[in-house]
Amino acid sequence: MNSKKLILVFCLAISTSVFAQKPDMNLVPYRQGDLWGYASADRSIVIKPEYAEAGLFHEGFAAVKKADKYGFINMEGKVVIPFRYFKVTPFRYGFFAAKGNAKTADGDLHQEKSVLFAGASLTKDGYEICIDTKGQRMPKCPAIPENSAPDINKSSTVEVKTNYSTIHKTGLFDKIIDDYKLVPGADATYYIATRGNNYGVFNNTFDIILPFEYTMIKKKNIGGMTYLLAEKNGLHGVFFGNGSPYITVENKKLQAVTAPNSVSYFIVGQEGKIGVKDMTHKYVVETKYADVAYDSTGTGFILTADDGTKGFWFLSGKTVEPKYAEVKALPVGDYIKVKTQAGKWGYVNSKGLEFFED
pLDDT single digits (tens) 173-190: 999 999 999 977 788 999
pLDDT in the model for residue 153: 35
End-to-end CA distance of the chain: 40
**Is the pLDDT confidence value at 104 over 70?**
no
Query: Is-contact 95 86, C-beta < 8 A?
Result: no
Tens digit of each residue's pLDDT (9 = 90 or more) over 37-63: 999 999 999 999 999 999 999 999 999
pLDDT in the model for residue 128: 87
pLDDT in the model for residue 113: 67
∠ Cα 35 39 44 (to 5°) = 115
Give me the mean pLDDT over the 306-316 stretch.
97
pLDDT in the model for residue 333: 86
Give me the mean pLDDT over the 118-129 stretch.
90
Q: What is the pTM of this model?
A: 0.82
CA distance 101 to 113: 14
The per-residue b/e assignment along 301-333, b for 16 or more CB within 10 angstroms, e otherwise, is: bbbbbeeebbbbbbbeeebbebbbeebbbbeeb
∠ Cα 30 33 38 (to 5°) = 15
pLDDT in the model for residue 248: 95
pLDDT in the model for residue 4: 40
The per-residue b/e assignment along 37-47, b for 16 or more CB within 10 angstroms, e otherwise, is: bbbeeeeeeeb
Give me the mean pLDDT over the 128-146 stretch.
85
User: Which of 16-20, 93-97, 106-110, 346-350 is modeled with the greatest confidence?
Assistant: 346-350
Return all residues near 244 (Cβ < 8 A) that are at least 6 apart. none
Give me the mean pLDDT over the 151-167 stretch.
51
Chain mean pLDDT for the chain: 86
Least confident of 13-27, 34-48, 254-268, 269-283: 13-27
